[in-house]
């Protein structure tokens, strides 16, 4: 796969030992949406930010849905495979460590990141999932042992019920992931407090796992 398959932005790492953050926007976003967030969460990291290739009423997404909260699972599997292949191609083009990729996804972007964890284990070294739900349940759970995952969610989220996020947390734990769950009394939008908690978590994870990231 050519890296041009996804319209994207790449910013090389300032620190040679820093990980690569895979930035995955929500519905209606694009490859510029999370760049500032990525820079703030880990200054010096490489940033790889693709734009979702599916359009819903003109708004980019990473996979199709049949209605709100109801996903096209066949399309989801295809799109997750495409994104996995894109990561491999991008690591060759830009020269970053393919074993040191940490996803930072919001909403639809968090759901495709969770899909990468569940369908393509080994592609991501860690993940920050803001406002996510179970995208699908694989027939066989992957081995996600030693994979750190941060989930940020809002108790007042009108798009994703708390029970849906809790189900994702349970599924990832069953697969062996080291899940940190953080709740805010907020809605679907990102807020400063959950970003701060995720940033502190990320810095700790990178410090502990520098040899892998």
Q: Are 62 and 132 in contact (CB under 8 A)?
A: no
Q: Is 188 a catalytic residue?
A: yes
At a CB cut-off of 8 Å and minimum separation 6, what does 72 contact?
A: 63, 64, 65, 66
Catalytic residue among 8, 120, 182, 188: 188
Q: Is 209 a catalytic residue?
A: no
Alpha-helix runs per DSSP H in the chain: 35-41, 73-94, 108-119, 162-174, 192-208
What are the tokens at 179?
Answer: 């899940």
Q: Is 157 a catalytic residue?
A: yes
At a CB cut-off of 8 Å and minimum separation 6, what does 170 contact?
A: none
Which among 206, 200, 196 is positioned nearest to 21, based on CA atoms? Answer: 206
Catalytic residue among 49, 91, 107, 115: 107
Catalytic residue numbers, as ranges? 107, 157, 188
């Amino acid at each position: 796969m050519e890296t041009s398959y996804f319209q994207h932005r790449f910013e090389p790492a300032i620190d040679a030992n820093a990980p690569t953050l895979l930035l995955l926007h929500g519905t209606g976003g694009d490859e510029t949406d999370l760049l500032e967030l990525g820079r703030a969460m880990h200054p010096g990291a490489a940033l790889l930010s693709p734009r979702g290739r599916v359009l819903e009423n003109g708004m980019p997404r990473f996979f199709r849905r049949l209605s709100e909260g109801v996903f096209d699972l066949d399309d989801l599997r295809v799109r997750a495979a495409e994104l996995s292949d894109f990561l491999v191609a991008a690591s060759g083009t830009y020269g970053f460590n393919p074993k040191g990729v940490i996803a930072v996804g919001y909403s639809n972007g968090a759901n495709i990141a969770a899909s990468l964890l569940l369908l393509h284990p080994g592609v991501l070294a860690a993940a920050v999932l803001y406002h996510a739900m179970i995208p699908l349940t694989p027939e066989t759970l992957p081995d996600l042992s030693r994979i750190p995952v941060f989930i940020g969610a809002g108790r007042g989220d009108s798009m994703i019920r708390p029970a849906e996020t809790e189900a994702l947390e349970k599924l990832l734990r069953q697969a062996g992931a080291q899940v940190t769950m953080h709740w805010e009394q907020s809605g679907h939008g990102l807020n400063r407090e959950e970003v701060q908690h995720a940033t502190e978590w990320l810095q700790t994870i990178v410090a502990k796992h520098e040899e892998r990231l």
